[in-house]
Structure formats: C-alpha cells, structure tokens
Amino acid sequence: MPTFDPPIPLPILEQPMTRSTDGVTANGLHKSYGDVQALAGLDLAVPEGTVLGLLGPNGAGKTTAVSILSTLLRADAGTATVAGFDVGTEPVQVRKHIGLSGQFAAVDEYLTGFENLEMVGRLYHLGKKVARSRARELLERFSLVDAGDRQVSTYSGGMRRRLDLAAALVAEPSVIFLDEPTTGLDPRSRNELWEVIEELVTKGSTVLLTTQYMEEAERLADDIIVIDHGREIAHGTADELKQIVGGDRIEVVVRNFTDVDAVKAILRRAAVGDDIRSEARRVAAPVTGGAETLARVLQELAAAEIDVLDIGLRRPTLDDVFLTLTGSTTVGISTPAELEVAS
Amino acid sequence: MNALLLTLGDGATIARRNVRKVTRVPEILVSVIVSPLIMLVLFAYVFGGSIEIEGGSYREYLVGGVFAMNLVFASVFTGAGLAEDIQKGIMDRFRSLPMSQSAVVFGRTASDVIYNVLSLAIMSVAGLLIGWRINGSVFEAITAFALLLLFAYAISWVMAYIGLLVPSPEVINQAGMMVIFPMTFVADTFAPVENFPGPLRTFAEWNPVSSVTRAARELFGNLPAGSPEPGPWSLRHPILYTLLWVAIIIGVFAPLAVRRFSRRP
C-alpha cells in the first residue's frame, strides 16, 4: 500500500482522447461524514462498454462512491467524470447519461409498475408517447407484464428490484450504476436479476456495480476493485485476484487431534512450498497436480490408517480473496501482512 | 426547453403522481374528509352552547374558523409526504434524473392544493347542513375561498421545508402539531379574541390565522350586524394583512425548501 498520496494525473492510457464517450473516471475521491471517513482517496476507471465491480464489506464506501458519481453527493476532494462530464460542475449533463439502481428499490409503491416507468420517462423528458411505449417495452423485458398494472406495494422483493433496474434503463443511459442490486434477495430472485444484468452487459453497457457478493462480481464484472475503509485494497480481474490467495489447496479434516501431525507430514511431501496450515483438526496445503495429487495423498492417508472425516481439493474463490484482504481469518490463507506484498 | 416550462412540466408530472397516491391510499382520503367533519360537528355542538356571539349565531361564526384550522392542519401532509418520499428512497431517484429539481417541491405543494379544495368543498356542504350560510355576494364568496386556499398554500411551503429537514414522517407529525395547535387555537377561530388574557390576546390579534379567518367571515357575511370594529390594524384590514403574510411566507420558505432539496450534501 502506498504511504504517500500524490496528486499524480492518471496515466495517458486511462484518459482516452474520446472523452465524450468515456465511461466513468474518478480521481482521489474523499468524503467524510463528521468524523467518519467514508472515502479516503478512491481512484477508479470504467472504460466504455465494460463492467467494473466495486467489492467491499458493509461500510466500505461503495454506496458513497456511487452517490458521488451519480450526483447525489458532492465529494470533499477529488474529481470524477461520467460520460465525459464532470460530476461536480455538470450534474445535469451527467444525469442525462446515467441510470441509477440502488439497494433500496427507489420506486413508488403507490403507483403501478407501468406508472412508475412512465413517470420516470416523463421526467427524462421523453414525451408522453415514447415514455409509454418504453414503459411497456421494459415491463416485457423484465417479465413484469402481468404485474404492470398492479400497485408496486403488492410486488415481491425481486420484482421491485427488477422494476427499479427497469427504471434506471428508461432513457437508455450510456452509464449504469448498480448499487448492490441483489442484496437481500433470495437465491432465485438473485439469479433472475443476474440474467437481466448479464444481458445488459453483453449489449455493451458501461456498468459500475457495487456488491458484497464475490460470486456476483465474478459473474458480472470485467474488472474488480476491492475496497475497504474507503480505499482500494486490491484491483484486477477475478483470476488475477485469486492469484493473491494462491492456487489449489488440499484440505483434510481428521477425527483425532493426534493425527494432525501425521497429516501435516504427508501433506508436506505433496505440497508446493511449505505453507502448511492447521486449525483444530483441519490441515491445508497448497498443491499442484490437482486430482492426481489428491489421489496420492488419499493413498498415503489410508496407508497411515488415519481416520479422515473430510478431504477435498479447494480452488480459491473470491471469498478467500475478500476475507484475506479485509483481514478476516480462514485456515489455509495467507496473513494480511504477506498480502501487502502481493497486492 | 426553457427552465420555466421544464419546471412546470416536471411539476405537473410529480403532482399527478401525488394525486394518484391519494386515490390509492384510502386512509388519506378518510382523514381529508372525516377529520374536518368531526371538527365541525364537535365545535358546533360541544362549544356551540357555551360560546356567545353577540347578535349572531355561533355556528355561522364557527365555520370560517374551522375552514382556517383544517387547512392549516392539512399542510402537515405536504411535509409528511416529502419526508416519506425521502425515507423510501424515491427522492434519490428524482435527484438522479435530469429533471427540474425544484419541480419536486413545487409539484408537492401544488398537489396538496387539490386536497384542500376537496376538504373545503366537504366542509362547506357540512357547514350548510348545520346552519352556516353565505350571506355575501358570489364574488365575495369566491374571494374568501381563494384567500383560504392561498393561505393554506403558503403554510404548506413552511411544512415542505420542515419535511425536508426531518429524518422521518413521524417527526413532522409531532413537530408540526407543536406549531399548529397554538397557531390555530390562539386565534379568533373558535372564540372571540377580546376574551383572551393579555399576551395571548396580542398574539391572537396579530396571528395570520386570525386575519384569514376574519377575512373569510367578512367575505361570507358571517359577522353579526353591528359587531364592533376591531382595534388592531391586522384585523381591520384582514385581507391585506393575510396577503402580506402569504407573500412573506412563500418568499422565505419556497427558496429555502427548493435549496434544501437541490443541495448535494
């Protein structure tokens, strides 16, 4: 982590000539609420047609970042552009080019789904006719046709989120902000929403997605920034981030504590490097060779007559990355101190 | 599109949305219709027997006061509506749209005029049933209704500003009542101010709720013949005094509310 924070301009590569079609850029965003620092110098870039996942725990500053970029809040320091316009000085221009869908579905529960979308269309100044046809089109696309004439207060959580997302898309914005779009949804609704977002993504929308779910970032984002306490702690593609944690691991859980040392010895022979970790009756070691190595370890464990409760080959997930980077402990992962070097 | 047309258009869209809400939430309609009726009947029959209006009928006298009181009470809707919209997140949607930001508050105060028209109409019919009469000309009666609505519109800007300041709609109901009770009762709404003790009497005489009530009574012809000319300037020129207040309140609170809404913290 850099110990200094100089106002260095972005490298030329990240500031393409076609600024008017650029997606989102942010430089050194700071925001505090009283004594609480929500953003402590966040930089990010979402090139046009790509999806950036902003991954972080609750209170990491994700919503604050989205609120600044969507002109709801003003940054204390730093600059940001959306679709080529400055969010601080050209908020109206920015608003014309964005669609915002938040974690608290911002739809009117007293109106029907259709009325909500029509109202948003009118407020984008699409004109009555266009607003109406657009509303019908979106209801169809989001599988809300049957519910379109019902009051939103009768909708399920998943339906509200879909309607909220539809509202963000009414004016076909060039940049879409999705602030924790699936937080609090059941797995089925989450999957439905992911399918809709994937469709957007394949159509080439520029999307800034915040999430606390690794699976979501992995599935939807081209590029991921992990943030905590208002600053970036890691940046890369899902694969690159997994490299931080390392490759495959074998994990063995034994019935008897007395076997732990024997298992460590067996795993040490199979492991690459000597990062053998144990926690209670679980032992983990980094390996290469996948299933072959696993079979060999199994044979040795059987030969040593060790009572194995569970054994498996674990591939690192973004969860591991996340937990590692944000300092929570899990067996078989590097300590944050080691990762400072890696990141 | 020029800025004024934009604001009007967006304001109409917001107002239409607010009116739709009234038709969907029966509780609002009930409180707009029922609570004025209760007040009217309650005061007419409970106090009607003990308050004497020299040379006239208390029921005739009462109705102007009930009109004023109910319109001031209804202004709480404006603030509560805005506070609820903030709480539910729909305001964040509006604030992220390229719409006129002042239209959100203008649309709200405009749609609340519609509740007030409805509530005035219902109170008038009920008033006629219990013995209230319009004794002045049609033009005077229209002026009276218009002045009452204009005054209510001004007060709803005060509540709009408060609604944008408070953290939840519940707070505005309580905070609003703390202001509204003294404002509507320490006035000539239900009893003649001449009988109030010292400082309360001065407050009541210069309270704009008194002047709008007095203006309505004069215009409807509800003041008993030969009733004495009131002392304070505010009550001798109630229409002018009320209009002054309307101008001051809107002039102060409309910009405050709009600025509060469009600010980016």
User: At residue B140, what is the residue type?
Assistant: E
Radius of gyration, CA atoms only, chain A: 24
Q: Would you say residue B180 has pLDDT above 60?
A: yes
Mean pLDDT, rounded, for A122-141: 95
Helices (H), chain A: 62-69, 91-97, 113-123, 128-141, 157-169, 187-202, 214-220, 238-245, 260-270, 290-303, 318-325, 336-342
Specify which of A2-6, A72-76, A264-268 reaches the highest per-range mean pLDDT.
Answer: A72-76
The answer to whether position B17 is within a domain reads no
Model-level ipTM above the cut of 0.90: no
Let me know: does A242 contact A343? Beta carbons within 8 Å: no
Counting residues of chain B whose pLDDT is more than 70, the rounded percentage is: 100
The answer to whether position B2 is within a domain reads no
Which of B5, B90, B102, B108 would best serve as a mutation to test chain A binding (most A beta carbons within 10 A)?
B90
Let me know: does B217 contact B61? Beta carbons within 8 Å: yes
Query: Shortest CB distance from B93 goes to which of A91, A106, A110?
Result: A106
Query: Shortest CB distance from B13 goes to which of A91, A98, A119?
Result: A119
Question: Smallest Cα–Cα separation from A9: which of A76, A111, A79?
Answer: A79
Helix (H, G, I), strand (E, B) or coil at A23: coil
Residue A274 carries which DSSP code? S
Cα(A234)–Cα(A323) distance, integer angstroms: 12
Gap from B155 CA to chain A (nearest CA, Å)? 26
The string of pLDDT tens digits covering residues A91-123 is 999 999 999 998 776 899 999 999 999 999 999
Q: Would you say residue B225 has pLDDT above 80?
A: no
Name the more confident of A257 and A120: A120
- For residue A340, what pLDDT is reported? 35
Who's near A174: CB < 8 A, 6+ residues apart?
A21, A23, A48, A83, A97, A98, A205, A206
The answer to whether position B115 is within a domain reads yes
Q: Would you say residue A201 has pLDDT above 50?
A: yes
The string of pLDDT tens digits covering residues A302-311 is 888 888 888 8
Mean pLDDT, rounded, for A136-153: 93
From residue B163, alpha-carbon distances to A189, B76, B78, B79 in Å are 35, 9, 7, 4
Q: Is B5 near chain A, with CB under 8 Å?
A: no
* Residue for token pair 């609704």: A189
Please report which helix (H) or strand (E) contains residue B152, including its range. Answer: helix B138-165
Where residue A145 falls among pLDDT bands split at 50, 70, 90?
very high
Mean pLDDT, rounded, for A62-81: 94
The mean pLDDT value of chain B amounts to 90
Which chain B positions have a beta carbon within 8 Å of A70's beta carbon? 96
Counting residues of chain A whose pLDDT is more than 70, the rounded percentage is: 89
Cα(A93)–Cα(A75) distance, integer angstroms: 17
Query: Shortest CB distance from B265 goes to which of A74, A100, A151?
Result: A74
Counting residues of chain B whose pLDDT is more than 90, the rounded percentage is: 59
Mean pLDDT, rounded, for B32-41: 85
- CB atoms A108 and B265 under 8 Å: no
The string of pLDDT tens digits covering residues A154-186 is 999 889 999 999 999 999 999 999 999 888 888
The mean pLDDT value of chain A amounts to 84
Mean pLDDT, rounded, for A18-37: 82
Q: How many CB pairs under 8 A join A and B?
A: 73
- For residue A329, what pLDDT is reported? 39
Gap from A212 CA to chain B (nearest CA, Å)? 21
The string of pLDDT tens digits covering residues B4-15 is 888 999 999 999
- For residue A226, what pLDDT is reported? 92
Mean pLDDT, rounded, for B182-190: 90
Number of domains in chain B: 1
**Residue A339, number of CB atoms within 10 A of its CB:** 18
The answer to whether position B20 is within a domain reads no
- For residue A260, what pLDDT is reported? 86
Radius of gyration, CA atoms only, chain B: 19
Closest chain A residue to the Cα of B5, Cα to Cα = A125
Residues 117-156 of B with CB under 8 A from A: none
Name the more confident of B16 and A284: B16
Who's near B24: CB < 8 A, 6+ residues apart?
A110, A111, A151
- Token readout for A184 is 């609090």
Please report which helix (H) or strand (E) contains residue A101, including its range. Answer: strand A98-101
Where residue A337 falls among pLDDT bands split at 50, 70, 90?
very low
Which of A70, A122, A152 would best serve as a mutation to test chain B binding (most B beta carbons within 10 A)?
A122
> What pTM did the predictor assign?
0.81
**Residue A250, number of CB atoms within 10 A of its CB:** 24
Cα(A88)–Cα(A127) distance, integer angstroms: 28
- For residue B1, what pLDDT is reported? 57
- For residue A328, what pLDDT is reported? 52
| Bridge pairing between strands A282-286 and A308-314 | unpaired
Which chain A positions have a beta carbon within 8 Å of B98's beta carbon? 92, 95-96, 123-125
For chain A, count helices (H), then strands (E).
12, 14
The answer to whether position B158 is within a domain reads yes
Let me know: does B218 contact B74? Beta carbons within 8 Å: no
- CB atoms B98 and A125 under 8 Å: yes
Please report which helix (H) or strand (E) contains residue B79, including its range. Answer: helix B76-87
User: Lowest-pLDDT range, A78-92, A143-157, A315-329, B33-47?
Assistant: A315-329
User: Lowest-pLDDT range, A62-71, A78-87, A133-142, A265-274?
Assistant: A265-274
Let me know: does A29 contact A68? Beta carbons within 8 Å: yes
Q: Is B13 near chain A, with CB under 8 Å?
A: yes
- For residue B179, what pLDDT is reported? 85
Which chain B positions have a beta carbon within 8 Å of A100's beta carbon? 92-93, 96
Which of A110, A174, A175, A176 would best serve as a mutation to test chain B binding (most B beta carbons within 10 A)?
A110
Who's near B42: CB < 8 A, 6+ residues apart?
none
Which chain A positions have a beta carbon within 8 Å of B265's beta carbon? 73-74
Cα(B63)–Cα(B265) distance, integer angstroms: 45
Residue B56 structural domain:
29-263
- Token readout for A149 is 């004439």
Query: Shortest CB distance from A104 goes to which of B6, B25, B89?
Result: B89
Which chain B positions have a beta carbon within 8 Å of A91's beta carbon? 264
Mean pLDDT, rounded, for B191-219: 92
Using a CB–CB cut-off of 8 Å, the residues of A that contact B are 70-74, 91-92, 95-96, 98, 100, 102, 104-111, 115, 119-120, 122-125, 151, 167
From residue A46, alpha-carbon distances to A1, A321, A343 in Å are 22, 22, 20
